[in-house]
A and B are shown apart, each in its own frame.
Chain A
């Protein structure tokens, strides 16, 4: 029997095993259509969806305006509504003209200028308007209500100014910095890059580890001299690079196809993205350590990573307007730190104090995930 030949030095062995694992993983990524799908096709679909399909801009919301008693004053107020770029107004004399349209969803709301309006105004009482909105779509309902109020307030200020024979004391003029046209695409597309990296980092990683368990290859690996740390690192590096590649594709599409401005530096973009991949990959590993089955892994990844990145990161919904408890939860969602920073890189430029703070927090969350994953991934089965 031949004895095993002279063993190489431990470091050389470790390096060789690591290189072998990375090579194996890369072959698999390239040859497996599902990883290409998740890393490149899915991001493109998402990006197109946010670039073209989803718009949070509100213009020309259809409302009905009921003027119960026509006076110069009410006509003037009605003209204020008609002039607003936010509303497309149908005029009527009776609320019953519009009730059906509201129920059928043809109108988003009804604004009623009551018969007493002029009398109240003349008498110096605060005149009341009635706004009826379709509560089944709370966002639009809020919007109609707020803008109706704003239109009235605006009109009142003008009235007061005219009465005093002078222009209104203060006129508020809004000016938006960084995204002057308020195009939602400009902040949705950078945000969706965070979603894409969550997909690659967490979903894909947890899937491929679970697949190794299902196919029995993990067991065969573990029975070789390879260590658990090498196994983990050999998985992480390829998916880290894949995540960055996928991000790069998204940024190129964003800038050159959607024309999103890019005012920061490439260094900041990569620093932020690379850091974000730490918690994302860590979470993927943790999920795959907890479940050894692809179906469960994908469900866990979607619920614990994808949905929070979508809903609790400030991507679509303002964090400040969430209930306090939910706001606390958002602090552990890594995307919450990446998305504002990425939006800044795209729309404003490099603001390093902000980036460094985000990077620090993301690293911290990443370390926690890794520590947990390392603790639960030992070279043992069951």
Chain B
């Protein structure tokens, strides 16, 4: 068997669900043996559908999918005998132990009894689950579940391994481990499909199929894609003071395709033939330095989609500024602790956020971010410690505090069966707006976010990006002083994410204070300060640049946020072991 053999051939595939726009629209592509192929795109791009088509569990409406030489429509059984498939959420039985899950899949895949011991040993070693064989799968951490899911898919060595978003909800250390395991597999000729919405994962793949709204945008090596923006990416350092304002000005300058904040610096993608504008007006004192930076997958993706939005936020323009009179922090956490039974979800977490700053809680799922977050917006009662918003103690004046904060929940908890207009109306009522103010604010939201034609649509039928916009609109209707954002951009496409941060940056410039949770390392760069949350504790606190600097070594002089996270977590574990 040779590497680079075509394991999967996708030809002119169309798949439609109901009357909506097709989930896959004339997609062609190949998956090669011995390679990791990234199936990349935001939520709703068609990744899961494409993987299901490869398993033969779903058939295309048009076109063909051939896997390992078999047509999925005619010979699904032969395909299923030689693939390993790990669906989202890993397909494990939570009431069964690790060993029982392995036995079940070994029986179903027909692994001969004689080979079992050796195979189990090898896989348990490989996944480092040997100590946990008798533990119920439901009691494993996210990272361990993911490894067990992988082990189950690898019993009776498949030729093709299909992994649907294996990196979701898993801490960066486990994610890195998993990646190494999968890389080892390709060495033995296995073809791997790794679907992901994280563009940094895409960068590490051998090849990618980039999907957006059901269409294939690109097929090939990631470097080929990033090549299109080579020499057009710049890192601007030395902008003094208000980097958010500077970014907004850059974004509106000629020839700027895309721009983001990266800690203390700004990262710009320029149109071909343009260089970063030398000094945007009124940047005083030091002159910003522009240096060429290595292009990232995301830069190229945005360039391909026609560039990001401008730097103006109409939402921020209509916001009444909050004056920073007393210099007191707007959000305060003092020793916040939450115990559920004998499990401490959040342990002695303290920080404060001055007016007009963005503070990030960064950590993997289950680390305690959401628990901390919920205590601070009065949704959970702390077991110990206290939280304040705009000076109001959440235990005594929860209602007062809540009136001053806007909350955007994870997965944009809107009322799916209500229309866009009804959602706005409902949230306006909940936040106590009435009469002229209610009409005016609702009208503004409709205008700013372009809901005009969508007013009668049910919220659940909106595309993800619009859902996110509606959720933001509902959270800021009452012009809150503090904005709580729980995983605000998870799964949305990068353009929508840019737009979102343009609004947030604009609001922050007007004195709104923001607390954001994210497991997106890139998103952490927008924050003024970050607290790294791991296993319920805050293991590090500082600005993104400080945290990165803390872990810089000679070998890795310019670490990414993810590098910093991993190093800091490992450091804190070593300290615990030592203590």
Q: Spell out A's residues near B (CB within 8 Å).
A: 1-2, 4-8, 13, 16-17, 19-21, 23-24, 27-28, 31-32, 215-217, 219-227, 379-382
- Report the separation of the CA atoms of residues A380 and B159 in the bound assembly, to the nearest whole angstrom: 22
Say yes or no for B80: interface residue by CB 8 A criterion. Answer: yes
- Report the separation of the CA atoms of residues A220 and B164 in the bound assembly, to the nearest whole angstrom: 11
Residues of B close to A13: CB separation below 8 A: 110
A-B contact pairs, 27 of them (CB 8 A): A2-B157, A5-B115, A7-B110, A13-B110, A16-B107, A17-B107, A20-B103, A20-B104, A24-B96, A27-B96, A31-B136, A216-B88, A216-B91, A217-B93, A219-B52, A220-B90, A220-B91, A220-B152, A222-B55, A222-B80, A223-B57, A223-B80, A224-B109, A225-B109, A380-B57, A380-B58, A381-B57
For the complex formed, measure the closest distance between the CB of A7 and the CB atoms of chain B, giving whole angstroms: 6
Residues of A close to B56: CB separation below 8 A: 223, 379
Residues of A close to B82: CB separation below 8 A: 4
Given the known A-B contacts A28-B93, A381-B52, are A1 and B112 also in contact in the complex, defined by CB atoms under 8 Å? no
Residues of B close to A382: CB separation below 8 A: 17, 52, 58
- Report the separation of the CA atoms of residues A31 and B136 in the bound assembly, to the nearest whole angstrom: 10
Q: Which residue of A lies closest to B190 (CB)?
A: A1
B76 contacts A379, C-beta separation under 8 Å = yes
Residues of A close to B57: CB separation below 8 A: 219, 222-223, 379-381
- Report the separation of the CA atoms of residues A4 and B157 in the bound assembly, to the nearest whole angstrom: 7
Q: How many residues of B contact A (CB 8 A)?
A: 45
A24 contacts B93, C-beta separation under 8 Å = yes
A31 contacts B88, C-beta separation under 8 Å = no
For the complex formed, measure the closest distance between the CB of A280 and the CB atoms of chain B, giving whole angstroms: 24
For the complex formed, measure the closest distance between the CB of A17 and the CB atoms of chain B, giving whole angstroms: 5
A27 contacts B107, C-beta separation under 8 Å = no
Residues of A close to B105: CB separation below 8 A: 224
Interface flags, B89-130, vs A, CB<8A=1, else 0:
111111110001001110111101001000000000000000
B95 contacts A8, C-beta separation under 8 Å = no
For the complex formed, measure the closest distance between the CB of B145 and the CB atoms of chain A, giving whole angstroms: 12
- Report the separation of the CA atoms of residues A8 and B55 in the bound assembly, to the nearest whole angstrom: 23
For the complex formed, measure the closest distance between the CB of B187 and the CB atoms of chain A, giving whole angstroms: 10
Interface centre among B59, B76, B93 (most CB of A within 10 A): B93
- Report the separation of the CA atoms of residues A224 and B86 in the bound assembly, to the nearest whole angstrom: 11
A8 contacts B100, C-beta separation under 8 Å = no
For the complex formed, measure the closest distance between the CB of B96 and the CB atoms of chain A, giving whole angstroms: 6
For the complex formed, measure the closest distance between the CB of B533 and the CB atoms of chain A, giving whole angstroms: 27
Say yes or no for B399: interface residue by CB 8 A criterion. Answer: no
- Report the separation of the CA atoms of residues A32 and B94 in the bound assembly, to the nearest whole angstrom: 10
Residues of B close to A380: CB separation below 8 A: 57-59
- Report the separation of the CA atoms of residues A123 and B282 in the bound assembly, to the nearest whole angstrom: 121
For the complex formed, measure the closest distance between the CB of B297 and the CB atoms of chain A, giving whole angstroms: 28
- Report the separation of the CA atoms of residues A1 and B77 in the bound assembly, to the nearest whole angstrom: 22
Q: Spell out B's residues near A (CB within 8 Å).
A: 1, 17, 52, 55-59, 76-77, 80-83, 85-96, 100, 103-105, 107-110, 112, 115, 136, 152, 156-157, 159, 162, 188-190
Residues of B close to A19: CB separation below 8 A: 107
Residues of A close to B189: CB separation below 8 A: 1
For the complex formed, measure the closest distance between the CB of B171 and the CB atoms of chain A, giving whole angstroms: 21
For the complex formed, measure the closest distance between the CB of A174 and the CB atoms of chain B, giving whole angstroms: 56
Residues of A close to B110: CB separation below 8 A: 7-8, 13, 16-17, 225
B190 contacts A224, C-beta separation under 8 Å = no
Q: Which of B76, B80, B108, B188 contacts A17 (CB 8 A)?
A: B108
B86 contacts A220, C-beta separation under 8 Å = yes
- Report the separation of the CA atoms of residues A20 and B52 in the bound assembly, to the nearest whole angstrom: 24
- Report the separation of the CA atoms of residues A382 and B105 in the bound assembly, to the nearest whole angstrom: 24
Given the known A-B contacts A1-B189, A225-B81, A382-B58, are A27 and B95 also in contact in the complex, defined by CB atoms under 8 Å? yes
Residues of A close to B159: CB separation below 8 A: 1
A215 contacts B94, C-beta separation under 8 Å = yes
Known: A31-B136, A223-B87, A382-B58. 4 other contacts (CB 8 A): A27-B100, A28-B93, A216-B88, A220-B91
10 closest A-B pairs by beta carbon, nearest first, are A220-B91, A20-B107, A223-B85, A1-B189, A224-B108, A31-B95, A216-B89, A223-B55, A219-B87, A381-B57
- Report the separation of the CA atoms of residues A4 and B155 in the bound assembly, to the nearest whole angstrom: 10
For the complex formed, measure the closest distance between the CB of B559 and the CB atoms of chain A, giving whole angstroms: 35
For the complex formed, measure the closest distance between the CB of B134 and the CB atoms of chain A, giving whole angstroms: 13
For the complex formed, measure the closest distance between the CB of B566 and the CB atoms of chain A, giving whole angstroms: 28
For the complex formed, measure the closest distance between the CB of B148 and the CB atoms of chain A, giving whole angstroms: 12
A225 contacts B80, C-beta separation under 8 Å = yes
Q: Which residue of B lies closest to A224 (CB)?
A: B108
Q: Which residue of B lies closest to A30 (CB)?
A: B95
- Report the separation of the CA atoms of residues A5 and B109 in the bound assembly, to the nearest whole angstrom: 12
